[in-house]
Every structure is written in structure tokens, then in C-alpha cells.
Structure 1
């Protein structure tokens, strides 16, 4: 059973890496496309903020999976090092989530209301 949980933990870790890499690659492609669009004056700088928020969501999702993996590892092999890694990951995720949510709220408040 322990080996199965360890394998599941590794799979979850790889999934989290894939999510973060996918989000970063997608954000990079959108950013490059946006910059070329700005050169042609067809897109605005505000799109960059939206791209940043989208990449942030992928980072948060990837960190959620990393936390799940670290929790499994900590349960299977509870050492102070594992607890430290788990605590660090949770702190990073909480900080990112807090600041990302603040930024989303600020963007929502500063955007003009569009007529439907």
C-alpha cells in the first residue's frame, strides 16, 4: 500500500509540473502574440494583465497539486524536512493566492462597466 501511495504521489507531482509548464508556455505564447499585436496597435497593454492573471491561475493549480503530493509524502514518511517543505509550499501558495485575488479585485473595480 505504501508503494502505491508513493507512486500516486509521484504522478501527482509530475501532473503539477505539467500544469505549471503548460500555463507558463501558454502565457508566453499569448504574451508574444500580444506584443506583436501592440506593435500593430491592435491590442492594448491591459491584455498583459489578463495574461499575468491566467498564468497565476495555472501556478496556483500546480501548487495545489504539489501540496497534495507533499501531504501524501509527509504522511508516508513524516520527517521534519518533509514538514518544512510542506509548510513552505503552503505559505507560497497562500501568498500567491492572496495577491492574485487582490489583483483580480483591483482590475474588476478599475474596469469601466460595459453595456450589455
Structure 2
């Protein structure tokens, strides 16, 4: 591999890693600022956790992207591939955990109805209540 290209890839992965850390830190400050500004509002704590969780998820995505570039393009060894696999597994677990914390459901579950009725019951009620 050309030395200049290798150096460019190395700088790119470092920049993506810095961006990932910056997203997490800025997201943390943004979430804290919003929480302190609206802490008396109902649901402010839930919003704090959701905003922080989203920032962590986005930051993790960037950090994993940097690791993938590093493993595939710069240092394609079995050791680096094993480390990448471990990082991806940990990130996937964290992602699912944060998704449950933010949304209150697993990613593959449908959204819960807000009215307390199932969508099937709501459709039936709509048909029955509609004037003929």
C-alpha cells in the first residue's frame, strides 16, 4: 500500500474517532443543558436519558466505523479482526440496551398504541361509530 494513502487512512480514522468522542461529549452537555432548563417539566428526566442515549448511539456508530476502516484498510490481521468482532458485539449489545431505554421496547417490536386500545379494536370502533 502506498505510504501516503496509508497515512491518509490513518488520519481519516483518527478524525472519525475524534468526531465520535465529540458527539458523545457534546450530546452529554446538550442533554444536561436541556434538562437543567426544563427540569420542572414532566418527562424532563426521560428526555434527558433519551437525548443522552441517542448521542451515545451516534458516537458509538462513528467509533465502530473508524475501527472498521482501521481493520479492513490499514491493519488487516486476524488479531485486529478479532478485536473488531468484540467491539461490534459490545456495540450491538449497548445499542439494543439503549434502544430499549429510549423507546421502551425492543427494536423489532411494533410501537405500543397510545390510547390503550389495540389498532384492531380502534379500527373496529371507527367502523361501528361511523355514521352510515
Shared topology, TM-score over 0.5? yes
Asked if 1:50 corresponds to 2:47, the answer is: yes
Q: With structure 2 as the length reference, what TM-score do the two structures score?
A: 0.66
- Within the candidate set 23, 26, 29, 2:33 is matched to 29
* Structure with the bigger percentage of helix: 1
Give the distance between the partners of 2:59 and 2:12, measured in 1 at CA. Answer: 16
Q: With structure 1 as the length reference, what TM-score do the two structures score?
A: 0.74
Give the structure 1 partner of residue 112 of structure 2. Answer: 109
| Unmatched tracts of structure 2, length 5 or more | 106-110, 117-132
> 1:92 Cα shift?
2.8
8 A Cα contact 1:27 1:55, kept in partner: yes
RMSD: 2.3
| Unmatched tracts of structure 1, length 5 or more | none
For the pair shown, the structure with the greater C-alpha radius of gyration is 2
By relative contact order (CA 8 Å, sep 6+), the higher-ranking structure is: 1
Q: Aligned in 2, Cα 1:31/1:81: closer, same or farther, shift over 3 Å?
A: farther
Q: Aligned in 2, Cα 1:28/1:85: closer, same or farther, shift over 3 Å?
A: farther
